[in-house]
Structure 1
Amino acid sequence: MRAGVLSKDEVIEFLNENFINTWVPNCELGRIQSLREPIAKRREREGKSFDTSHPLAQAIIRGWKTGSKKGSPVDCLVMSSAFELMGRQMVNDLEKDSKRRELREHAYYLAFLQEALEGKQPGLGNLILTSENSSQSVLDAFRTPTCGRHDYTIAMIDATAFENGGTLTIDIEVGRGNSDGTFILVNGDTELPTTEGIPQEDLLGWVWSESGETGQITHRFDRGQFFKLGAIGHSNEGEASVNAFVAQISVGPADS
């Protein structure tokens, strides 16, 4: 990025006027599994440590798990002064995203930064729903819990374009693998616990779907917002298992 959009004067000026800018190598936070052991040995040898509990480090780690789960060597994360995520742009998607909006890369990157400052949370939703494109599908897989930890597969749903609200409908079809699935819907900023159940007051909707079966979640909302769909597997066989699912996600009128 330094030789691309970050070399443009107008981008540099906008960043310096509106942001505190820093670089944090993902490998230092343990994102690259193959480098964890060599880095740990280097720190031990040099007598240095890296505090991954720092709010900045924790915000970066949350950024990895938010929005698209595709890999990218560099993430541009926009955060508030309270370390809340405001936007995410993956360098691998920069060219594709700019072409989709018919902008040059530096102009698209500027638009991304401006939208983050305006609270539009660009890049934090896997599925962006609008009145022109009100239905999308996601194909993914869920896993049964391992070592007592709930490992949710998460899809972020961006319905901020529906300023006056609507009805969110999620039609789910589960594959024919060995595990059933539980699907839950919560607000976009709700954290899904890894070791216990979800508080009832956080649930917007949920459905249990057995292997090879279908299910549906509906939720009426009165203003545009982000939602989070979590999926986790259940099996009686005692071994970890994986199953696929397809979710068709759409927004219709509130009175539908």
Structure 2
Amino acid sequence: MRAGVLGKSSIVELLNGYFINTWVFNSDLGRIFSLKEPIANRYKREGKSFDTTNPLAQAIIKGWKTGSKKGSPVDSFVISPEFELMGKQQIHKLERGINRQKYYYKFLKNALTGKEPGLGNIVLSREEPSQIVLDVLKTPVIGYADYTVIVIDTTAFEKGGKLTIEIEIGRADAEGYFYLVDGDDDLPITEFVTKDMVLARAWLEPEEAAQIEYSFARGQIFKFGATGCNYRNEKGTTNAFSVRISVED
């Protein structure tokens, strides 16, 4: 968390009241490949080492691969006393022009209340009605679907609104199926998916874009799933995709 954010007293009070705060360098955990050898040589010179098998280190390493945007750098993790991930915020994911002090305060509060911000769950509100997610879809090796799932929380919009999901898929070989369902429903795992099985859907070939929309009468939870096309792609092939998820009243 950047020093400017820590200038807000409410964030400092929240951190002091509910969190134990520490810094861990990605390079010490082996995240940055080009630094692995220099770090190892430094440890050898100094006669010390960094235990990457301890629960805290393992939780951080797991966090690198969890959520809407994988990889480094990660600015903040929230980890429970049982070393379970509760939230993740990357500095590069912050949009320009937002109030970062308010954003981080909300991030910490959402983590404490179990909303798991940054771990694949998207919480939309009037203060933050739009978020961008980058992830990877996979063509199933067995069965008809192998979903990357994004849970979308629109409960802040009590009187309803229009959910819009703008989808772009990468240039790799895998084509993608994208489905939106109610939060209490399961994503379809049948070979053929009809309109009545989902709230909205899209199919994209590499380097294509599409948009799906769904109007809802009151705030609710949705599931958005992305999977490779099992009968057009080679098994196990992947592709990157990005989605901008937003709600309008």
TM-score range, shorter chain: 0.5 to 0.7
What is residue 65 of structure 2 aligned with on the other side? 65
1:77-96 superposed matches below 5 A: 77-94=77-94, 96=96
CA gap 1:57/1:175 in 2 versus in 1, 3 angstroms: closer
Partner in structure 2 of residue 28 of structure 1: 28
Cα distance, 1:85 vs structure 2: 2.3
Does 2:227 match 1:231?
yes
Instruction: Find the residue that maps to 2:63 and give its secondary structure.
Output: helix
Deviation of 1:249 (Å): 8.2
Aligned to 2:216: none
Q: After TM superposition, give the deviation of residue 4 of structure 1 in Å.
A: 1.0
- State the partner residue of 1:51: 52
1:122 is paired with a residue whose SS is: coil
Give matches, 1:142-221, under 5 Å.
142=137, 155=150, 157-158=152-153, 178-179=173-174, 204-206=187-189
d(CA) in 2 for partners of 1:14, 1:79: 15
Secondary structure of 1:110's counterpart equals helix
> What amino acid is the match of 1:50?
D
8 Å contact 1:142–1:233 — kept in the other structure? no
Q: What amino acid maps onto 1:29 in structure 2?
A: L
Structure 1 pair 138–233 and aligned structure 2 pair: CA distance change class (3 A): farther
Q: Secondary structure at the match of 1:86?
A: strand
Check 1:241–1:93 CA distance in 2 against 1; reply closer, same or farther (3 A cut).
closer
* Secondary structure at the counterpart of residue 231 of structure 1: strand
2:119 is equivalent to residue 119 of structure 1:
no
- C-alpha distance after superposition, 1:180-229 (max 9, x if no partner): 668899xx9xxxxxxxxxxxxxx7533798968xxxxxxxxxx9558574
Q: Which moved more, 1:41-50 or 1:72-81?
A: 41-50
Cα distance in 2, alignment partners of residues 160 and 234 from structure 1: 34
Give the AA of the match of 1:48: S
Residues 69-78 or 122-131, more deviating: 122-131
SS of the residue aligned with 2:12? helix
Instruction: Give unpaired runs (5+ residues) of structure 1.
Output: 189-202, 213-222, 252-256
Q: Is the contact made by 1:142 and 1:232 (CA closer than 8 Å) also made in structure 2?
A: yes
CA shift at 1:23, angstroms?
1.1
Q: State the TM-score, normalized to the length of structure 2.
A: 0.57
Cα deviation per residue 1:141-169 (whole Å; 9 max; x = unaligned)?
Answer: 545699xxxx9866454466589xxxx9x
Are the structure 2 counterparts of residues 87 and 135 from structure 1 closer, same or farther at C-alpha, using a change threshold of 3 Å? closer
Identify if the C-alpha distance between structure 1 residues 157 and 6 changes in structure 2 by more than 3 Å, giving closer, same or farther.
same
What one-letter code is carried by the residue in structure 1 that aligns with 2:91? V
Deviation at 1:175, TM superposition (A): 8.3
Question: Do the aligned partners of residues 109 and 125 (structure 1) sit closer, same or farther apart at CA in structure 2, a change above 3 Å counting?
Answer: same
Q: TM-score, normalised by structure 1?
A: 0.55
Q: Deviations over 1:32-74 (max 9, x none)?
A: 222233323433453524233x222222223223333166534
User: Structure 2: where are the runs of 5+ without partners?
Assistant: 194-202, 207-218
User: For 2:129 and 2:103, how far apart are their aligned partners in 1?
Assistant: 23
Residues 1:39 and 2:22 are matched in the alignment: no
Q: Counterpart of 2:77 in 1: which secondary structure?
A: strand
How many matched pairs? 229
Give the secondary structure class of the aligned counterpart of 1:205.
Answer: coil
Greater shift, 87-96 or 21-30, is seen at 87-96
Q: 1:235–1:241: 8 Å Cα contact kept in structure 2?
A: no
